[in-house]
Structure 1
């Protein structure tokens, strides 16, 4: 059984070499690594003077322009470049925690499981609040989620992350693959489609990648604006299971965590951050009512709007 890894890239740094080396040393071998690079000149600058093509002979590189990049469409293209029975979607800033990542990630892909996603651990420089939210979203216990969990988990049933996730091709093809055009959330949209079709989503806690961000308040606002847009554009997935309740639960849990660990001084910053997130999310959900200039100012993906609105 062949396993390919598909990674979209944008202005990759030298950490890409570390990621490729770690994928090359996995206990279950990777057949091919498919790199979908946005901005050919940045990639060429990175590998100039190296023995990249000689060292990484199972690598395939495809270049797309920034205007062509799309969260769903570009990943669809990557899957078409692969013929493997199982393909793993990753991001360039997700680092395997050990040599068992691929083995642990693909192990749950049996019976009715359509996709399996990895646990994300914080980086060494991760801020305390972000460290706790990693634990909130990616706990130490594995779980299989299906339609039976919708009443108790709500939108969390669909939660899945292409930061590191493995897919069964036969089910992917049956369900029509990733949505062709979306600003965000192609992974959750696919997971919702799988659950609706009777399949399950696996959270593989023993498959671990190092991945976290210390976003500024502006970045949190923009990211959640795009999140709100994706939910507004796909009411068939998100209308019945709003994410507000999950957000409220996270705020309560983080507040309790900070107080318990004598970090109450960080609460004000955390609440300001939450306000930025929620404001971005609400504006994103109502993006159709906003002037094009506002949308362009609020989003983190300006190229998406240049393709989709005439007034930007």
Structure 2
């Protein structure tokens, strides 16, 4: 596999980018502690709601750094009415990588903390950023804090079940001492909404590049292995939902499997299959307890597609290149790296 690179300060600038616009608004001293970094691709209505929600935060960001894939897909009027300080940078589709795009965003940030978000996640209230920041005061070893993801009417029934499984009501702080107890959940974190302490992030070299997917969990694992902590802040809530088809779930889990194959020194420590079985058992019980046994078949059907996608991803080096392009959501990843 190609050499893995990190260091958000220096490595991220290895590929060219262009600055397309800078929209400035007034700032407060309180807003100086963190920036928000958002990779974008064809941002839509949820992105507009996200910007509005960030404006209304009790603790707003110093600036919002957008790493947009393909300038032609960025709506020209989407930033027209925002009061946020927006820094917009464009990259090409062939250069996109989940880790690279976020490292690039961090390289434009100068605050002690930064918040990674996706362009379809919307803060549930005005206290979200304050809740994330407050979690760092619990332990000086905390490297990152991720938020609770909540469903909307758009969410499919199985997504509602998985959200309940992965994002409980109780906050927690995790470290390597919890590995045997938590299994793969020990490394769980999500850049849908996750705040990082810049000093620790930089000391660990940032997100490892290349990474097709799962850069958040890979960093969390590395942070814990280095003696740091990962926190889950249930009081920081974002709305984040999809209605994936079984085929889309196959492709997402294919990329998940690829990340586990490429970083098997991490994920072989705690194979995720056991946690997957626990999730399907808990979800099945939830469906039955609600008197919705008729949902068991679609639940198992979707689970099979997820499992097959994951297994295919774990064995992607054996798959013909023409099939890789069909299986993955990120075909450029395989164009930019050597296949094992």
- TM-score for both structures, normalised by structure 2: 0.87
Find the residue that maps to 1:108 and give its secondary structure.
helix
Secondary structure of 1:72's match? helix
Match of 1:93 in 2: 120
Aligned partners of 2:46 and 2:121 also within 8 Å:
no
Give the whole-Å Cα distance in 2 for the aligned partners of 1:255 and 1:222.
Answer: 23
2:33 — aligned with what?
2
CA shift at 1:42, angstroms? 1.7
Q: Is the Cα contact below 8 Å between 2:47 and 2:121 reproduced in 1?
A: no
Change (3 A) 1:253 1:78: same
Match of 1:264 in 2: 293
**Where does 1:297-312 land on structure 2 (aligned, <5 Å)?**
297-309=326-338
* 1:157-236 correspondence to structure 2 within 5 Å: 157-236=186-265
Looking at structure 2, the residues matched to 232 and 295 of structure 1 have their Cα atoms a distance apart, in angstroms, of: 14
Residues 191 and 11 of structure 1, relative CA distance in 2, 3 Å threshold = same
Question: Can you give the 5+ residue segments of structure 1 that lack an aligned partner in the other structure?
Answer: none
Instruction: Please say if 1:61 is aligned against 2:93.
Output: no
Does residue 30 of structure 2 align to residue 30 of structure 1?
no
Corresponding residue for residue 291 of structure 1: 320
Normalised TM-score (structure 1):
0.95
Query: What is the CA RMSD across the aligned residues, in angstroms?
Result: 1.5
Q: Distance in 2 between matches of 1:12 and 1:124?
A: 20
Choose the corresponding residue for 2:72, options 41, 49, 52: 41
Shift of 1:135: 0.9
Distance (whole Å) between structure 1 residues aligned to residue 237 and residue 142 of structure 2: 19
* Cα 1:47–1:239 shift into 2, 3 Å: same
SS of the residue 1:120 aligns to: strand
Q: Is the 8 A contact 2:260 2:267 kept in 1?
A: yes
Which range is displaced more, 76-85 or 298-307? 298-307
| 1:74 alignment counterpart | 101
Cα distance in 2 between the residues matched to 1:190 and 1:310:
23
Q: Bigger CA drift: 200-209 or 9-18?
A: 9-18
Unpaired stretches in structure 2, ≥5 consecutive residues:
1-31
Deviation, 1:17, is 2.2
1:298: Cα distance to partner? 1.0
Number of equivalenced pairs: 307
Name the SS for the 2:168 alignment partner.
coil
Q: CA shift at 1:125, angstroms?
A: 2.3
For residues 329 and 118 of structure 2, the distance between their equivalents in structure 1, rounded to whole angstroms, comes to 17
